[in-house]
């Protein structure tokens, strides 16, 4: 293959990796080295920042909290989206197109607009500072997304599959769980990926709806930069660690990322 | 696909409707409520009609934020969409490198937004950041915390870094769905590379590109966390985008009425633009 | 325009092919005259599309040469070969009108607009697209789109060859007939070399003057439809062409004599058997098999009516032998005997016609 073909993606990936490298490299530096001046590589290689995170409960609980509400949100979003996506892909019903658009509008809702009303809403029903509160709040944008992706995949499955199953004597639940879901397993994988992703990266709502018990790692980080001075190394280590769950998830769905978008319908 | 008319399908969508309605309608009503009332912080409210809307629409501050917001959104769209398409076009289509490319490119998308902000904050620091140090050492007087131009440059570069991959993934998905026969036919028809792009690749990418533009439009209009962590809206108000301004008013000054009115105006702008996109797209699909 | 010669052509998709099994195309030597209508016939995966892509320049063969006339074009890119190709699934430029689609190959080559217009209109007339020239190509049905693909293949004048890669796959059965005869007609009108790839024997036999039958990357026989029918060079050809296919019956050969179940059978290639002795195969088509007063004793197992005639499935032990009989012919229920037309019965040695 021609060199020019390789050049563009390589340069782009190099550009993407630079800030990440800087973050990771900084996480292995001591605070003194960071503030002392510019250095391309950690001179006094230290894992002190990571040790602190793994031994301090406020830090590692931040991770557990984040993973907890993200997982809860993913389960709720995909579970609710599955039957809805099936309905959109198979049936026409009163107001289906408007409903679909209305769902999508919620994907557009600015978190900033909803932050305060959410705080009041979830406080009033006693869910403030719980995993469920954040998980439910994130369904606002994840459910429409999951419906959208799953609908695309389901539309790709010929209707004959449903009909054959009924002829073979399957009841609807038995068809749906034993035949249909395995058929669109790839689509479910992609939906899980995107739900996980958008719940994991969101901070504004997660921070607003929690105080102590369910505080996400991202919020713990903001506290660090404001209260305990300028602990850049620690911040960098915490930040580096937040990349890992995402990277693991991408690795699992790498073959479906591109496909998931292509099949989605607007 | 031919769909059967079945009103019972509503039962299938019911969980989604309840979930989203709970999350969307109740807060939205709260916002509408606030936008027409006045409070002095003691839980007593007075009807204020459309006064807050008038106040917002007449304030220079709102128009300035909106202006910055539009500038930001269109700048990043103009950079990210062509760049993303160009990168997707040069990506390998088969082989082991595809996975490597996709995984590395998708990485920025999965980093929590405040970490993205923090990462760039550190990366661009003029004294100890790689980017800042580099720019200063080759002769630029670069300091994004003090100079407006530098702040904008960093903000846009960060967004390009963060989101171009989304366009790449979408465009790539569109490209790999083109059957080989199209390229072969074009070669036999004697088409140049430009004509292949113009008459095969671009039309086949149109749908995914519309999705890309729509998503990037919505998300860049909603952007909050990254610029707050990076520049805090500064220097001064130089990079205060709409959502930053909104949160400043709502949570900072606790001016619920104006904040709510501004929220609604803000939401309406996004909704209207998206609706136009959506209608255009549907019309395209029917053709 | 030129004749096409394939010299010792071989191709493997692997970087380092070892055994013959690694080759998608195994050794091919063919010569196609200018202006002929040829068909490449074979089951899926027999290498016919590979061969087509080598001729059109989409693939470069691992070994051997492709000559157009006297010119070696093996390594020339597609656009330098001056050939046209129509693919299995319709390829249309969605954003263009039907007219612009047809004009595309000409405009890319800088043909003057007046000439483009004339040519496009001629081709549109031939392919029944005249009424739709102004429409957007994306709005057409599958067979409309395939007509555009055909039209784009035909629009250039003086191409060395036009190749068709199973072009009628997506077309409705009743339209298939129409388009097929249209192609035949166009071939006669234009006089361009046409190479038609298909797995459908009817398409191949009705379209081509010369049919090349392929199997597992090899040419098993190249000949006129009549030759393929009357004298298959390989049991595969006998079985693949004809409906039902040729009967293949194990036989005993000794001293130039052929026996099936202890009955002596007269065969067309008896003189070629030479010193062969042992078990071989006898090939005889159902068309050349008939009921007789004496001969091979069989049991009638099944009779199928095809409308024109009847297919009788008989049994010799466990072996099925089929024959075609007239609709009004009497089918013996007991003590049936079969006779084979000696001129159309051949002995096959390891699949190949004994020669």
Query: In whole numbers, what is the pLDDT of chain A averaged over residues?
Result: 82
Please, are residues C105 and B189 in contact by the beta-carbon 8 Å criterion? yes
Closest Cα in chain C, distance from residue B102 (Å): 26
In the numeric block, which tokens belong to residue A122? 């979830």
Please, are residues A208 and A127 in contact by the beta-carbon 8 Å criterion? no
pLDDT band at A72 (very low <50, low <70, confident <90, very high): very high
Q: Alpha carbon of C280 to those of C7, C190, C272: distances in Å?
A: 33, 47, 13
Neighboring chain B residues of C93 at a CB cutoff of 8 Å:
199-200, 203
Please, are residues C160 and C81 in contact by the beta-carbon 8 Å criterion? yes
Mutation site for B-interface testing, chosen from C13, C58, C166 by largest number of B Cβ within 10 Å: C58
Q: How many CB atoms lie within 10 A of CB A236?
A: 24
Task: Tell me: pLDDT of B236 over 90.
Answer: no
Question: For residues B230-241, b (16+ Cβ closer than 10 Å) or e, as one string?
Answer: bbebbbeebbbb
| C108 vs B181, B191, B204: nearest CB | B191
| Cα–Cα distance measured from residue B283 to residue B277, given in angstroms and rounded to the nearest whole number | 10
Neighboring chain C residues of B185 at a CB cutoff of 8 Å:
85, 87, 91, 149, 152
| Cα–Cα distance measured from residue A121 to residue A137, given in angstroms and rounded to the nearest whole number | 10
pLDDT band at B11 (very low <50, low <70, confident <90, very high): confident
pLDDT in the model for residue B286: 56
pLDDT band at A227 (very low <50, low <70, confident <90, very high): very low
| Cα–Cα distance measured from residue C53 to residue C140, given in angstroms and rounded to the nearest whole number | 28
- Helix or strand holding residue C83 (H, E): strand C83-86
Mutation site for B-interface testing, chosen from C91, C146, C159 by largest number of B Cβ within 10 Å: C91
In the numeric block, which tokens belong to residue A205? 């709502």
Contact flag B188-C138 (C-beta cutoff 8 Å): no
Please, are residues A140 and A103 in contact by the beta-carbon 8 Å criterion? no
In the numeric block, which tokens belong to residue A152? 């695309």
Closest Cα in chain B, distance from residue C132 (Å): 16
In the numeric block, which tokens belong to residue B112? 């929590």
Say if C89 is an interface residue toward chain B (CB within 8 Å): yes
Contact flag C77-B187 (C-beta cutoff 8 Å): yes
Residues of chain A numbered 124-163 and touching chain B (CB < 8 Å): 136-137, 139-140, 143-144, 147, 155, 158-159
Say if A23 is an interface residue toward chain B (CB within 8 Å): yes
In the numeric block, which tokens belong to residue C8? 């010792």
Please state the φ and ψ torsions of residue C313, each to the nearest 5 degrees.
-100, 115
Sequential DSSP letters for A14-82: HHHHHHHHHHHHHHTS-HHHHHH---SS-SS---HHHHHHHH-HHHHHHHHHHHHHHHHHHHHHHHHHH
Residues of chain C numbered 247-306 and touching chain B (CB < 8 Å): none
| Cα–Cα distance measured from residue A102 to residue C153, given in angstroms and rounded to the nearest whole number | 47
pLDDT band at A266 (very low <50, low <70, confident <90, very high): very low
Least trusted range by pLDDT, from A9-18, B50-59, B146-155, B246-255:
B246-255
Q: How many CB atoms lie within 10 A of CB C212?
A: 24
pLDDT in the model for residue A31: 76
Contact flag A258-B176 (C-beta cutoff 8 Å): yes
Contacts of A93 by beta carbon, 8 Å cutoff, 6+ apart: A87, B5, B6, B7, B8, B9, B10
The three-state secondary structure class of C40 is strand
| Cα–Cα distance measured from residue B142 to residue B133, given in angstroms and rounded to the nearest whole number | 9
Write down the residue that tokens 């007609």 correspond to.
Answer: C185
Nearest residue in chain C measured CA to CA from B178: C91
Closest Cα in chain C, distance from residue B188 (Å): 6
Please, are residues A177 and A79 in contact by the beta-carbon 8 Å criterion? no
Nearest residue in chain B measured CA to CA from C139: B287
Neighboring chain C residues of B183 at a CB cutoff of 8 Å:
none
Q: Alpha carbon of C247 to those of A206, C114, C256: distances in Å?
A: 77, 58, 21
Chains C and B are in contact, defined as 3 or more C-beta pairs closer than 8 angstroms: yes
pLDDT in the model for residue B159: 94
Mutation site for B-interface testing, chosen from C79, C82, C111 by largest number of B Cβ within 10 Å: C79
| Cα–Cα distance measured from residue A69 to residue A130, given in angstroms and rounded to the nearest whole number | 9
pLDDT tens digits, B63-105: 888 899 999 999 999 999 999 999 999 888 777 788 888 888 8
Closest Cα in chain A, distance from residue B142 (Å): 15
Compute the CA torsion angle C11, C16, C20, C23 (nearest 10 deg).
Answer: -30
Nearest residue in chain A measured CA to CA from B30: A117
Size of interface A-B (CB pairs under 8 A): 287
CB-side exposure of A238: number of CA atoms within 13 Å?
A: 30
Mutation site for A-interface testing, chosen from B31, B117, B118 by largest number of A Cβ within 10 Å: B118
Nearest residue in chain B measured CA to CA from C81: B188
Share of chain A residues as helix, strand and coil, in percent rounded to the nearest 5: 80, 0, 20
Task: Tell me: pLDDT of A93 over 60.
Answer: yes
pLDDT tens digits, B193-209: 899 998 989 888 887 88
Neighboring chain A residues of B246 at a CB cutoff of 8 Å:
110, 112-113
Question: For residues B6-29, b (16+ Cβ closer than 10 Å) or e, as one string?
Answer: eeebbebbebbbebbeebbebbbe
Q: What tens-digit pLDDT sequence spans chain C (355 residues)? A: 578 888 888 888 888 877 777 888 888 888 888 888 999 988 888 888 888 888 888 888 888 888 888 888 888 888 788 888 888 888 889 888 999 999 999 998 888 999 999 999 988 888 888 888 888 888 888 888 888 988 898 888 888 888 898 888 877 787 788 888 888 888 888 888 899 998 888 888 888 889 999 888 888 888 898 888 888 999 999 888 888 889 999 998 888 888 888 888 888 888 888 788 888 899 999 989 988 888 888 888 888 888 888 889 998 888 899 998 888 888 887 788 888 888 888 899 888 888 7
pLDDT in the model for residue A265: 44
Write down the residue that tokens 């097929």 correspond to.
Answer: C180
Neighboring chain B residues of C105 at a CB cutoff of 8 Å:
188-190
Please state the φ and ψ torsions of residue C311, each to the nearest 5 degrees.
-100, 120
Counting every residue written for chain A, the total comes to: 266
Neighboring chain B residues of A140 at a CB cutoff of 8 Å:
20, 23-24
Whether cis (ω within 30° of 0) applies to the bond prior to C330 is: no
Hey, which chains touch B, using 3+ CB pairs under 8 Å?
Answer: A, C
Task: Tell me: pLDDT of B49 over 80.
Answer: no
Contact flag C104-B179 (C-beta cutoff 8 Å): no
Task: Tell me: pLDDT of B234 over 70.
Answer: yes
Question: What is the side-by-side strand order in the sheet with C309-316?
Answer: C289-292, C336-340, C296-305, C309-316, C319-326
Neighboring chain B residues of A233 at a CB cutoff of 8 Å:
none
Say if B176 is an interface residue toward chain A (CB within 8 Å): yes
pLDDT in the model for residue B164: 94
Contacts of A60 by beta carbon, 8 Å cutoff, 6+ apart: A53, A54
Least trusted range by pLDDT, from A180-184, B128-132, B218-222, B251-255:
B251-255
Report the candidate in B74, B27, B61, B56 with the shortest Cα–Cα distance to residue B221.
B74
Report the candidate in C326, C320, C323, C299 with the shortest Cα–Cα distance to residue C311.
C323
pLDDT in the model for residue A228: 47
pLDDT tens digits, A95-150: 888 888 888 888 777 777 777 788 888 888 888 888 888 899 899 889 988 998 88
pLDDT in the model for residue B160: 95
Residues of chain A numbered 195-214 and touching chain B (CB < 8 Å): 197, 200-204
pLDDT in the model for residue B252: 66
Please state the φ and ψ torsions of residue C76, each to the nearest 5 degrees.
-75, 140
Please state the φ and ψ torsions of residue A148, each to the nearest 5 degrees.
-60, -50
Task: Tell me: pLDDT of A246 over 90.
Answer: no
Say if A247 is an interface residue toward chain B (CB within 8 Å): yes
CB-side exposure of B198: number of CA atoms within 13 Å?
A: 7
Say if B58 is an interface residue toward chain A (CB within 8 Å): no
| Cα–Cα distance measured from residue C305 to residue C285, given in angstroms and rounded to the nearest whole number | 18
Compute the CA torsion angle C228, C234, C239, C242 (nearest 10 deg).
Answer: 10
Q: Alpha carbon of C80 to those of B187, C55, C72: distances in Å?
A: 10, 12, 12
Chains A and C are in contact, defined as 3 or more C-beta pairs closer than 8 angstroms: no
pLDDT tens digits, B132-166: 888 888 888 888 888 888 889 999 999 999 999 98
The three-state secondary structure class of A166 is helix
| Cα–Cα distance measured from residue A183 to residue A166, given in angstroms and rounded to the nearest whole number | 16
Say if C136 is an interface residue toward chain B (CB within 8 Å): yes
Contact flag B189-C108 (C-beta cutoff 8 Å): yes
pLDDT tens digits, B251-282: 666 677 777 888 888 888 888 887 887 777 76
Closest Cα in chain C, distance from residue B191 (Å): 6
- C92 vs A5, residue with greater confidence: C92
| Cα–Cα distance measured from residue C70 to residue C67, given in angstroms and rounded to the nearest whole number | 6
pLDDT in the model for residue C349: 87
Of these ranges, A18-22, A205-209, B127-131, the one predicted with the greatest mean pLDDT is: A18-22
Contact flag B9-A96 (C-beta cutoff 8 Å): yes
* pLDDT average, residue stretch A15-40: 83
Write down the residue that tokens 């901070």 correspond to.
Answer: A203
Neighboring chain A residues of B174 at a CB cutoff of 8 Å:
262
Report the candidate in B125, B174, B179, B175 with the shortest Cα–Cα distance to residue B150.
B125
């Amino acid at each position: 293959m021609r060199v020019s073909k390789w050049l563009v993606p390589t340069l782009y990936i190099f550009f993407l990796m630079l800030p990440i490298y800087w973050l990771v490299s900084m996480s292995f530096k001591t605070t003194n080295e960071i503030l002392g001046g510019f250095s391309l590589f950690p001179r006094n290689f230290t894992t002190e920042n990571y040790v602190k995170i793994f031994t301090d409960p406020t830090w590692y609980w931040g991770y557990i909290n984040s993973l907890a509400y993200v997982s809860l949100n993913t389960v709720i979003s995909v579970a609710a989206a599955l039957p809805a996506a099936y309905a959109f892909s198979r049936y026409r019903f009163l107001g289906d197109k408007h409903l679909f658009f209305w769902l999508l509008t919620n994907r557009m809702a600015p978190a900033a607009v909803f932050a305060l009303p959410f705080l009041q809403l979830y406080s009033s029903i006693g869910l403030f500072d719980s995993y469920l509160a954040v998980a439910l709040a994130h369904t606002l944008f994840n459910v429409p997304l999951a419906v959208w992706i799953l609908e695309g995949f389901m539309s790709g499955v010929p209707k004959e599959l449903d009909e054959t199953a009924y002829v073979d004597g399957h009841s609807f639940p038995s068809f749906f769980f034993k035949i249909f879901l395995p058929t669109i397993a790839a689509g479910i994988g992609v939906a899980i990926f995107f739900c996980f992703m958008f719940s994991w990266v969101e901070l504004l709502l997660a921070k607003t709806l929690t105080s102590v018990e369910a505080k996400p790692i991202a919020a713990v980080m903001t506290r660090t930069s404001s209260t305990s001075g300028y602990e850049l190394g620690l911040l960098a280590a915490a930040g580096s660690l937040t990349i890992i769950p995402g990277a693991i998830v991408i690795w699992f769905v790498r073959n479906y990322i591109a496909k998931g978008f292509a099949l989605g319908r607007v | 696909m031919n769909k059967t008319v079945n009103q019972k399908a509503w039962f299938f969508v019911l969980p989604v409707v309840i979930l989203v309605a709970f999350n969307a309608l109740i807060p939205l009503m709260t916002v509408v409520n606030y936008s027409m009332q006045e409070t002095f912080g003691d839980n007593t409210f007075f009807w204020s009609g459309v006064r807050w809307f008038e106040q917002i629409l007449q304030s220079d501050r709102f128009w300035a934020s909106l202006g910055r917001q539009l500038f930001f959104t269109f700048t990043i769209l103009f950079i990210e969409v062509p760049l993303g398409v160009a990168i997707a076009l040069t990506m390998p289509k088969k082989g082991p490198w595809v996975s490597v490319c996709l995984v590395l490119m998708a990485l920025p998308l999965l980093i929590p937004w405040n970490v993205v902000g923090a990462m760039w904050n550190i990366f661009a620091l003029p004294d100890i950041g790689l980017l800042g140090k580099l720019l200063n050492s080759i002769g630029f007087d670069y300091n994004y915390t003090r100079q407006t131009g530098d702040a904008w440059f960093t903000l846009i570069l960060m967004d390009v870094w963060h989101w171009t991959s989304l366009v790449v993934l979408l465009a790539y998905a569109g490209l790999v769905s083109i059957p080989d026969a199209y390229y072969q036919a074009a070669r036999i028809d004697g088409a140049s590379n430009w004509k292949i792009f113009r008459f095969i690749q671009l039309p086949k990418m149109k749908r995914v590109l519309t999705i890309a533009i729509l998503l990037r439009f919505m998300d860049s209009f909603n952007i909050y966390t990254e610029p707050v962590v990076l520049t805090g809206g500064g220097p001064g108000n130089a990079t205060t985008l709409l959502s930053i301004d909104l949160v400043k008013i709502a949570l900072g000054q606790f001016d619920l009425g104006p904040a709510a009115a501004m929220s609604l105006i803000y939401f309406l702008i996004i909704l209207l633009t998206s609706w136009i996109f959506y209608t255009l797209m549907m019309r395209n699909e029917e053709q | 325009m030129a004749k096409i010669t394939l010299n010792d052509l071989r191709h493997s998709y692997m970087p380092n092919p070892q055994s013959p099994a690694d080759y998608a195309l195994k050794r091919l030597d063919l010569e196609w005259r200018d202006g002929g209508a040829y068909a490449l016939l074979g089951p899926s995966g027999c290498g016919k599309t590979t061969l087509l892509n080598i001729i059109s320049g989409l693939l470069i063969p691992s070994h051997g040469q492709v000559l157009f006339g006297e010119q070696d074009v093996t390594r020339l890119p597609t656009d330098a070969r001056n050939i046209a190709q129509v693919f299995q699934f319709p390829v249309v430029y969605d954003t263009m009108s039907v007219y612009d689609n047809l004009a595309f190959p000409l405009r890319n080559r800088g043909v003057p607009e007046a000439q483009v217009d004339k040519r496009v209109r001629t081709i549109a007339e031939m392919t029944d697209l005249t009424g739709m020239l102004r429409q957007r190509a994306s709005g057409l049905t599958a067979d409309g789109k395939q007509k555009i693909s055909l039209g784009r293949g035909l629009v250039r004048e003086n191409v060395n060859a036009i190749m068709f890669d199973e072009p009628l796959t997506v077309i409705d059965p009743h339209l298939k007939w129409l388009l097929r005869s249209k192609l035949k007609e166009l071939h006669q009108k234009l006089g361009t070399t046409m190479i038609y790839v298909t797995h459908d024997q009817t398409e191949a036999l009705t379209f081509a003057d010369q049919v090349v039958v392929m199997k597992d990357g090899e040419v098993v026989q190249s000949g006129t439809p009549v030759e393929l029918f009357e004298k298959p060079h390989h049991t595969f050809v006998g079985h693949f062409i004809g409906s039902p296919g040729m009967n293949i019956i194990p036989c005993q050969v000794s001293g130039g004599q052929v026996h099936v179940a202890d009955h002596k059978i007269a065969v067309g290639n008896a003189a070629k058997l030479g010193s062969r002795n042992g078990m071989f195969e006898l090939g005889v088509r159902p068309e050349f098999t008939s009921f007789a007063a004496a001969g091979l004793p069989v049991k009638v197992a099944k009779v199928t009516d095809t409308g024109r005639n009847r297919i009788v499935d008989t049994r010799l032990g466990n072996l099925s032998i089929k024959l075609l009989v007239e609709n009004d012919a009497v089918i013996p229920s007991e003590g049936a005997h079969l006779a084979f037309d000696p001129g159309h019965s051949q002995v096959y040695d390891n699949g190949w016609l004994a020669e």
